[in-house]
């Protein structure tokens, strides 16, 4: 088909990959040399397997950066090392740079020649054919011609389906946008409710400590000092809540990763954002109680029972 630039068969299966110390459940992808061109996978080091490797069903593997770091500590240390894939020794010949997916990282993968993959899983299965067109304008033409060729050769019009990844990505991004909006709305409502809770706690604290505030002012504390004191207390309450939430979130994610036997993914960005939002919520909802405390009349505060 002239409009098709490259084609690569691919097959997928989960399996355990292990070193002497670590065992990880990961996605095993069987494919050919053109897969990197079609998927635009950037190599960090080493090489991808070639046509000769596929013809010979060589026991070679290319792993992604995250899996390399999980198994060997450093991605560079994985090059040339052997790992056990379903108890079969495999030599790592390449490392693929980690790429962020729209879902936030994605799972780790190990790529092997499809001929070796079929031997390893004792099957001649091919899950899909992945192809790239010469240009965007020829994508639909390539899909139509490919389907017609498959139907003509295999006489089965119901078995084959084609997916335009560009359209699939557009649909997925739209769905993600809707999901993000819903989650953001829920998070916003939760923050407001939490902030109101902090404000109520601080108002109760101001009421219970009215005499204490009066004593401080009588001893020379300025209104500014009282305001700052109660603002700091509000920030501390919000931040402690944020820390507890982060611990629960990280713990839940770690348990899920261990249960699914996939490498856990950690990013400092959510941690920094959580601390920032906690502080902002503390300041915003702590201003009113702090201001109320700072405006108390020292004489009236000392008389309060």
Is the pLDDT at 96 greater than 80? The verdict is: yes
pLDDT at 30: 93
Provide the mean pLDDT of the chain.
83
Global confidence as pTM: 0.55
User: Of 1-15, 41-55, 90-104, 166-180, which has the strongest mean pLDDT?
Assistant: 41-55
Mean pLDDT of 71-81: 88
- R_g of the chain, CA atoms, integer Å: 30
Work out the angle at residue 267's Cα, subtended by the Cα atoms of residues 179 and 108, and round it to the nearest 5 degrees.
80
User: Of 80-89, 259-268, 294-303, which has the strongest mean pLDDT?
Assistant: 80-89
Quote the percentage of the chain above a pLDDT of 70.
81
Separation in Å, CA 158 to CA 1, 9, 105, 154? 21, 19, 34, 11
pLDDT at 28: 94
* Close Cβ partners of 223 (under 8 Å, ≥ 6 residues apart): 217, 294, 295
pLDDT at 7: 76
């Amino acid at each position: 088909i002239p409009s098709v630039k490259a084609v690569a068969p691919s097959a997928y299966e989960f399996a355990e990959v292990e070193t002497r110390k670590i065992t990880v459940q990961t996605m095993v992808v069987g494919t050919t040399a053109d897969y990197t061109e079609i998927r635009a996978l950037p190599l960090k080091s080493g090489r991808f397997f070639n046509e000769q490797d596929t013809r010979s069903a060589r026991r070679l593997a290319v792993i992604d950066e995250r899996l390399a770091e999980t198994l060997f500590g450093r991605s560079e240390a994985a090059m040339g090392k052997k790992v056990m894939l379903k108890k079969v020794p495999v030599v790592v010949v390449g490392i693929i740079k980690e790429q962020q997916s729209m879902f936030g990282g994605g799972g780790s993968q190990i790529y092997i020649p499809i001929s070796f993959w079929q031997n390893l899983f004792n099957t001649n299965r091919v899950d899909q054919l992945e192809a790239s067109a010469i240009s965007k304008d020829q994508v639909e033409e390539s899909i139509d011609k490919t389907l017609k060729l498959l139907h003509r050769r295999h006489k089965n019009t119901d078995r084959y389906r084609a997916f335009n990844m560009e359209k699939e990505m557009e649909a997925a991004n739209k769905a993600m946008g809707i999901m993000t909006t819903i989650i953001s709305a829920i998070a916003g409502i939760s923050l407001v409710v939490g902030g109101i809770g902090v404000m109520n706690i601080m108002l109760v604290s101001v009421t219970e400590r009215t005499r204490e505030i009066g004593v401080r002012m009588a001893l020379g504390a300025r209104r500014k000092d009282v305001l700052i004191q109660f603002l700091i207390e509000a920030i501390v309450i919000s931040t402690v809540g944020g820390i507890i939430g982060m611990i629960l979130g990280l713990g839940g994610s770690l348990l899920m990763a261990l249960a699914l036997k996939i490498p856990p993914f950690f990013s400092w960005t959510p941690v920094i954002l959580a601390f920032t939002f906690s502080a902002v919520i503390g300041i915003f909802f702590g201003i009113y109680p702090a201001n109320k405390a700072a405006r108390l009349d020292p004489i009236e505060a000392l008389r309060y029972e």
